Amino acid sequence: MKIKLALGAAVCASALSAGQAAAADWDAPQQPFKVHGNTYYVGPGGVSAVLVTSPAGHVLIDGGTGKSPQQIVPHIRQLGFKVGDIKYILISHAHFDHVGGIAELQKLSGATVVASTLAAPVLKTGKPTADDPQYANLVDMPFAPVGTLHTVKDGEVLSVGPLKLTAHYSPGHTPGGTSWTWQSSENGKALNMVYADSVTAYGDDSFRYGGDPRWPGAKAGLEHTLAMLAGLQCDILISAHPDASGLMERQAKGSFVDTNACRAYAAKGQERLAAQLAEEAQRPAKK
């Protein structure tokens, strides 16, 4: 149990130290809340799930762990929405702490799951692909595979009635990660919303961001993602783990708006990448 918790914490995408990450409880109880306009936080305390609503149907981003639907489903109902009105379930990256609950949420809603081309095989099998930097830690921890899947290209716009969400491929934490942007309006004020994928450079004991045949493009991919995130129009950032961008702290302060949040999030990812590369340089070469 202790080992499993430690491995599970390793997947955690926030830029916390290992000790802090191990202490994080992904399924900690959490009240749902409005972020802005038609955007609501419906996840548990440690892994984000976001509902974007419209009269023509809703979009859910991420489904948390296998246990998270026990909170996500009642949260959606508590806010006055129907799970059956979810048309699409989008994902950030295919690790079990973000997609472990998706198979169940898909069964309950009948929604189509939407993912990048590289995340699709992971979702269909419930198992990581060999190019995942954390492959060795994840291979024995499968999640429930999802059913109907729709793949999107980088930059593709997904529409449900008036909702338009744009996919931004975000390789780095995994090869197939995706961030999502959309606009939400309240009192005539339209804000640029960003759901940012995890940007933590973290691998199993053998993976090297500095150059690895399993995924030679890891470092370049992550750097591209960090530059992309830093350049987004970003009024409200929600990260795949809420603590990675201080979401609950912003809630406590009474405003989610921070136009510097995406740049700060990218800078933190850059620092973590530098630390990872330094650690790899200390590691003995493979025999």
| Closest distance of CB 248 from Zn ion, Å | 16
Q: From residue 75, how far is each of 83, 150, 182 by CA, in Å?
A: 10, 26, 22
- Closest to Zn ion by CB, 12 vs 51, is 12
Please pick, from the candidates 9, 13, 90, 222, the single residue that binds Zn ion as defined by CB under 5 A.
13
Across 106-257, where does the E strand assignment appear?
Answer: 112-116, 149-152, 157-160, 163-169, 178-186, 189-196, 236-239
Residues 76/100, Cβ–Cβ less than 8 Å: no
**E-state strands within 68-129:** 86-90, 112-116
Judged by beta carbon, residue 13 or residue 226, the one nearer Zn ion is 13
Which residue's CB is nearer to Zn ion, number 13 or number 261?
13
Compare residues 13 and 237 and give the one whose CB is closer to Zn ion.
Answer: 13
Binding residues for Zn ion, rule CB under 5 A, total 3
Stretch that binds Zn ion, among 59-67, 95-103, 208-216, 272-280 (CB under 5 A): 95-103
- 197 binding Zn ion? (CB under 5 A): no
Answer for which of 97, 104, 197, 235 binds Zn ion (CB under 5 A) is 97
Q: Is 99 in the site for Zn ion (CB under 5 A)?
A: no
CB of 81 or CB of 169, closer to Zn ion:
169
C-alpha span between 66 and 201 (Å, rounded): 24
Closer residue to Zn ion in complex, CB, 61/160: 61
Q: How far is CA 10 from CA 79, 189, 202, 272, in A?
A: 32, 39, 8, 14
Minimum CB distance to Zn ion, residue 141 (Å) = 13
| Residue 55 tokens, joined | 């009269």
| CA-atom Rg of the chain in angstroms | 18
Phi, psi of 3 (to 5 degrees): -65, -45
CA distance 281 to 277: 6
As measured in angstroms, the least distance from the Cβ of 205 to Zn ion is 19
Task: Kindly state the smallest distance separating residue 88's Cβ from Zn ion, in Å.
Answer: 21
Which residues bind to Zn ion, rule: CB under 5 A?
12-13, 97
